[in-house]
Structure 1
Amino acid sequence: MSEPFALLMAVYRGDHPVHFDKAFSSSVMAQTRPPAQVVLVQDGPVSPGLEGAIEGAIAKSPVPVRHHRIAQNAGLAGALAEGLALSEHDIVARMDADDISLPERFAAQVPLIEGGLDLVGTGMLEFLDDDGSIVGRRVPRTEQAEIERYARFHDPFSHPTVVYRRTAVERAGGYQPLGLMEDYWLFARMIHTGARVGNLAEPLVMYRVGEGAYARRGGVAQWRSELQLQRALRRIGFTSRTQYVRNVAVRGTYRFVPEPIRRRAYRRLIARGSSVDHA
């Protein structure tokens, strides 16, 4: 039996109105299997242009939209935690406000959740802001065992692509702030608490790569978030002591190498899903 599902999106002042409109339209009106509800969390004040885009999206939506406003910016984890509580359905699909869902996305993912999985992601195509050119492809690990192994080194899911059961998210403790790593922290805890997981290798989301995308992956703030994450993973027993040391050394170094090297390393080890040593 098919189940209805909700689409969960969060917007904040940094989102572009045109990008948001494309993200919303592609994930609602253009889907061969559309959501039954949209939960749209407005995380703090936004520009008049974005406010107008939100109002326009709500007006043209063929499904009910729950527009939840947060007075002051709470951050992504806080916004999604509030939005998840407003979902009328146990199956929830995530989408960011500047990416694009391909038409068959939910028709491919939701049946896997109905069939027994708790969390399903997909591959992604990376495209440029300026001309829409495809510049990369992320191919995730697909099977439970390989996802669990890879998760000890890197986030095995791309957050904008996931569909999950709300009950499985809640069982793992829900969204929790953790620097810039709240998605990896959630997915690791879901795996750790027994969630049944999978990925579709097929790219069903187009991920916008703006200027400075790789620069933002480095620096002191990212290093601090990285260290906080690795300590948290070790604390709950998700990683071994050897894995912790490896991750701090390898992933920590990645935060401080020059941007061109960081870009090449990302494409070789992450975007292509290459093998790594899972000590």
Structure 2
Amino acid sequence: MSEPFSLLLPVYAADNPTHFMRAFDSSVRDQTRPPSEVVLVQDGPIGVDLDRAVHRAIATAAVPVVHEVLVDNVGLARALERGLARATHEIVARMDADDVSLPERFERQLPVIEAGADLVGSGMLEFLDDDGLIVGRRVPRVGAAEIERYARFHDPFNHPTVVYRRSAVARAGGYQPLGRMEDYWLFARMIHTGAAVENLADPLLMYRVGAGAYTRRGGWDQWRSELALQRALRSIGFTSRWQAMRNLGVRGGYRFVPERIRRVAYRRFIAGGG
């Protein structure tokens, strides 16, 4: 039996109004199986143009929209937690404000959840900001055993693609701030607490790769986030001491290589798509 589901979409000041509208429409109006509601979390003050886009999206949506406005910018993890608290339905699909869902995304993913999975992701295509040129493809690992093995070193899910059950997220402790690592940290805890997981290898989302996408993945701040992640994974027994040392050496060292090398290494060694 088909179950209703919520779409969880955060937006903040740096988002592009045009990209936001395309993300919204592609995940609602253009879907062969649209969500039952949208939970739109506005993370702090936004500019005039983006505010107009948000209200236009709400006014033209064919499904109810819960508009959760946060007075201050609290960061992605806390914004998503606020959104999950406002969602009406047990099943929640994630979406970011600058990506594009392909039309059959939810029609493909929801049956996997309805068949018993707690968390399902998919592959995705990388495209450039300016001309829509496809520049990469991330193909995730599939099968629960392979996903669990792979998760000891890599984030096994492409975060913008996931659909999950709220109860499984809550059982794992929800989103917790951890630099840019909050998604990996959540998914590791979900696996660790027994969530049933799966991936669809086919790309069901287009992921926007803008200027500076790989610059932001390097430097000392990211290294410190990586260190915090590895300590956290080790603290719950998700990784062994040897695995933690290996991860910090490889994943941490990646933060300091030249950007042109980082771009290639990210897809091979770091990203959810192997």
Matches within 5 A, 1:46-57: 46-57=46-57
Letter in 2 for 1:190: M
Quote the residue 2:85 is aligned against. Answer: 85
Quote the residue 2:44 is aligned against. Answer: 44
Shift of 1:90: 0.2
Shift of 1:60: 0.5
2:155–2:271 contact (8 Å) kept in structure 1: no
Quote the residue 1:133 is aligned against. Answer: 133
Matches within 5 A, 1:44-193: 44-193=44-193
Aligned mates of 2:268, 2:14 — CA distance in 1: 30
Residues 119 and 237 of structure 1: CA distance in aligned 2, closer, same or farther (over 3 Å): same
SS state at 2:137 partner: strand
2:119–2:198 contact (8 Å) kept in structure 1: yes
Aligned mates of 1:273, 1:171 — CA distance in 2: 26
Aligned mates of 1:273, 1:15 — CA distance in 2: 24
Letter in 2 for 1:191: I
Aligned mates of 2:212, 2:142 — CA distance in 1: 29
Quote the residue 1:251 is aligned against. Answer: 251
Aligned mates of 1:271, 1:256 — CA distance in 2: 16
SS state at 2:174 partner: coil
Gaps of 5+ in 1: 275-279
Letter in 1 for 2:145: A
Aligned mates of 1:263, 1:53 — CA distance in 2: 32
Shift of 1:269: 3.3
Aligned mates of 2:219, 2:61 — CA distance in 1: 40
- State the TM-score, normalizing by the size of structure 1: 0.97
Shift of 1:261: 1.1
Quote the residue 1:277 is aligned against. Answer: none
Aligned mates of 1:272, 1:114 — CA distance in 2: 23
Residues 253 and 208 of structure 1: CA distance in aligned 2, closer, same or farther (over 3 Å): same
Letter in 1 for 2:62: P
Letter in 2 for 1:258: P
Shift of 1:273: 4.6
1:3-59 Cα distance to aligned partner (Å, 9 max, x none): 000000000000000000000000000000000010000000001000000000001
Shift of 1:267: 3.1
Gaps of 5+ in 2: none
1:44-92 Cα distance to aligned partner (Å, 9 max, x none): 0001000000000001100000000000000000000000011110000
1:147–1:198 contact (8 Å) kept in structure 2: yes
- State the TM-score, normalizing by the size of structure 2: 0.98
Quote the residue 1:208 is aligned against. Answer: 208
Aligned mates of 2:96, 2:273 — CA distance in 1: 22
1:219-257 Cα distance to aligned partner (Å, 9 max, x none): 011000000000000000000001000001000100011
Aligned mates of 2:14, 2:95 — CA distance in 1: 16
SS state at 2:216 partner: helix
Shift of 1:179: 1.6
Aligned mates of 1:98, 1:80 — CA distance in 2: 16
Letter in 2 for 1:43: D
SS state at 2:69 partner: strand
Matches within 5 A, 1:196-275: 196-270=196-270, 273-274=273-274
Aligned mates of 1:264, 1:79 — CA distance in 2: 31
Residues 175 and 273 of structure 1: CA distance in aligned 2, closer, same or farther (over 3 Å): closer
Letter in 2 for 1:21: M
Letter in 1 for 2:80: L
Letter in 1 for 2:158: S
RMSD, aligned α-carbons:
1.0
1:128-178 Cα distance to aligned partner (Å, 9 max, x none): 001000000000001101100110001000110000000000000011111
Percentage of identical aligned residues: 72
SS state at 2:249 partner: helix
